[in-house]
């Protein structure tokens, strides 16, 4: 078992027969420094030969900024879509030399400050809002950018708000486009989902002819059946569900009542989870191009870190309806 010691830039310098400064200049390709190709190669070779890995801690300490982008996850269960978004975001940021990490778990477990203090990120993304104090503290500590994706609007551009609204619009448009005049909205049971549900519902409101009949639908066939029963009694013929799971619940509820979609009740979900196409009947739903969304988010982060202004999101093509049989 070899004695494992950390390899530092001093080791590389020694091996290459140069100073540590030179090593730094070569490895960072510092502009405005002219180093002879021969020296350069020697340094490069020494570095890779030794397997040199600069200490992120030292670099962060010195520059006051790491290349890590931290995403604070909400404490509700993250589904496929969010997972997908995170993966795409990670890929997109990697292309910019940034390391993406996500912190799951509620803010109650660990005060949010503990987390960014431990990471010293270049940017922090959050689905929910920060308090003013939190934002200030982070910026004081050198965090370049703080972005809230959803929540009450403030000085932040709520980057995810628009796509969510658009999602609702598309649902309502599809239903009204297929002749449904009286819509219902199947709201999720879990209060933590409000920050997603509210903008979606707002989108439905904006696109629907009249005010949709909102009803909370638990992920349970029996409970869902009573919601469906009432909707039908009120003459509602089309349901926009918060997501595919809620849509599946609506479908299950309808089935219990002997109703079939889309004839007795049209249902449209959100997300296009795998179970959607396997449902009875296959679920019509709305999907978001997570890759494009992630690319935009990445651009926003990079722009802000380097002081440039971020481009606007062109949301139009981001969201589209997947037509199957339920609506």
Partner DNA sequence: CTGTTAGCGCATTCAG
Partner DNA sequence: CTGAATGCGCTAACAG
If binding is defined by CB under 7 A, does position 59 make contact with DNA? yes
Judged by CB under 7 A, the stretch of 3-11, 171-179, 181-189, 319-327 that binds DNA is: 3-11
Taking the complex as a whole, how short is the minimal distance between the CB of residue 75 and a second copy, in angstroms?
Answer: 7
If binding is defined by CB under 8 A, does position 323 make contact with a second copy? no
Of 81, 115, 96, 39, the closest CA to residue 319 belongs to 81
Assign 122 to helix, strand or coil.
Answer: coil
Six-digit token pair at 122?
């270049």
Gyration radius of the chain's alpha carbons: 26
Q: How many residues of this chain bind a second copy (CB under 8 A)?
A: 75
Residues 25-54 that bind a second copy (CB under 8 A): 51, 53-54
Which entry of DNA, a second copy, none binds 153, CB below 5 to 8 A by partner kind? Answer: none
Distances (CA, A) of 91 to 86, 88, 144, 160: 9, 5, 20, 19
If binding is defined by CB under 7 A, does position 20 make contact with DNA? yes
Taking the complex as a whole, how short is the minimal distance between the CB of residue 311 and DNA, in angstroms?
Answer: 27
Of 281, 256, 288, the closest CA to residue 267 belongs to 281
Which entry of DNA, a second copy, none binds 34, CB below 5 to 8 A by partner kind? Answer: DNA
Instruction: Write the interaction track for a second copy spanning residues 84-103; mark x where CB under 8 A is met and - where it is not.
Output: x-xx-xxx--xx---xxxxx
Residues 85, 318 contacting (CB under 8 angstroms) = no
Pick the binder of DNA from 14, 50, 54, 178 (CB under 7 A): 54
Residues 239-258 that bind a second copy (CB under 8 A): 244-245, 248-249, 251-252, 255
Judged by CB under 8 A, the stretch of 35-43, 79-87, 231-239, 309-317 that binds a second copy is: 79-87
**Distance in angstroms (rounded) separating the CA atoms of residues 40 and 22:** 9
If binding is defined by CB under 7 A, does position 14 make contact with DNA? no
Q: Is the dihedral of CA 19, 25, 31, 37 positive or negative?
A: positive
If binding is defined by CB under 7 A, does position 30 make contact with DNA? yes
If binding is defined by CB under 8 A, does position 114 make contact with a second copy? yes
**Distance in angstroms (rounded) separating the CA atoms of residues 134 and 147:** 12
**Distance in angstroms (rounded) separating the CA atoms of residues 142 and 307:** 14
**Distance in angstroms (rounded) separating the CA atoms of residues 121 and 271:** 30
Residues 80, 272 contacting (CB under 8 angstroms) = no
DSSP annotation string for 145-160: EEEESSSS-SSS--TT
Q: How many residues of this chain bind DNA (CB under 7 A)?
A: 33
Judged by CB under 7 A, the stretch of 46-54, 130-138, 171-179, 269-277 that binds DNA is: 46-54
Which entry of DNA, a second copy, none binds 35, CB below 5 to 8 A by partner kind? Answer: DNA
If binding is defined by CB under 7 A, does position 306 make contact with DNA? no
Going by C-beta distance under 8 Å and a sequence separation of 6 or more, which residues neighbour residue 64? 142
Which entry of DNA, a second copy, none binds 10, CB below 5 to 8 A by partner kind? Answer: DNA
Pick the binder of DNA from 10, 94, 153, 278 (CB under 7 A): 10
If binding is defined by CB under 8 A, does position 109 make contact with a second copy? yes
Name the β-bridge partners of 268.
240, 284
Residues 141-200 that bind a second copy (CB under 8 A): 141-142
**Distance in angstroms (rounded) separating the CA atoms of residues 220 and 240:** 17
Which entry of a second copy, DNA, none binds 21, CB below 5 to 8 A by partner kind? Answer: DNA
Taking the complex as a whole, how short is the minimal distance between the CB of residue 68 and a second copy, in angstroms?
Answer: 6
Taking the complex as a whole, how short is the minimal distance between the CB of residue 141 and DNA, in angstroms?
Answer: 9
């Amino acid at each position: 078992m070899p004695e494992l010691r950390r390899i530092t830039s001093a080791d590389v310098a020694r091996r290459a027969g140069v100073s540590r400064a030179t090593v730094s200049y070569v490895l960072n390709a510092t502009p405005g420094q002219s180093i002879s190709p021969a020296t350069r190669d020697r340094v490069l070779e020494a570095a890779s030969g030794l397997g040199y890995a600069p200490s992120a801690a030292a670099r962060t300490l010195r520059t006051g900024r790491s290349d890590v982008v931290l995403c604070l996850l909400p404490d509700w269960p993250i589904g496929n879509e969010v997972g997908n978004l995170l993966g795409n975001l990670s890929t997109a940021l990697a292309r910019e030399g940034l390391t993406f990490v996500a912190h799951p778990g509620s803010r109650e477990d660990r005060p949010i400050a503990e987390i960014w203090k431990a990471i010293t990120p270049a940017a922090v993304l959050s689905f929910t809002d920060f308090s003013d104090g939190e934002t200030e503290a982070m910026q004081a500590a050198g965090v370049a950018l703080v972005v809230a994706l959803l929540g009450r609007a403030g000085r932040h551009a709520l980057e995810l708000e628009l796509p969510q609204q658009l999602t609702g619009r598309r649902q309502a448009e599809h239903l009204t486009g297929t002749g449904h005049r009286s819509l219902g909205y199947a709201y999720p049971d879990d209060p933590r989902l409000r920050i997603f549900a509210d903008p979606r519902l707002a989108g439905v409101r904006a696109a629907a002819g009249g005010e949709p009949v909102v009803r909370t639908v638990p992920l349970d066939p029996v409970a869902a059946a009573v919601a469906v029963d009432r909707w039908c009694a009120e003459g509602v013929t089309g349901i926009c569900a918060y997501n595919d799971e809620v849509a599946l619940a609506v479908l299950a509820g309808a089935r219990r009542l002997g109703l079939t979609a889309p004839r007795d009740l049209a249902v449209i979900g959100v997300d296009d989870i795998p179970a959607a196409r396997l449902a009875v009947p296959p679920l019509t739903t709305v999907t978001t191009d997570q890759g494009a969304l992630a690319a935009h988010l990445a651009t926003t982060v990079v722009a802000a870190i380097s002081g440039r202004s971020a481009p606007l999101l062109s949301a139009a093509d981001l969201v589209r309806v997947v037509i199957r049989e339920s609506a």
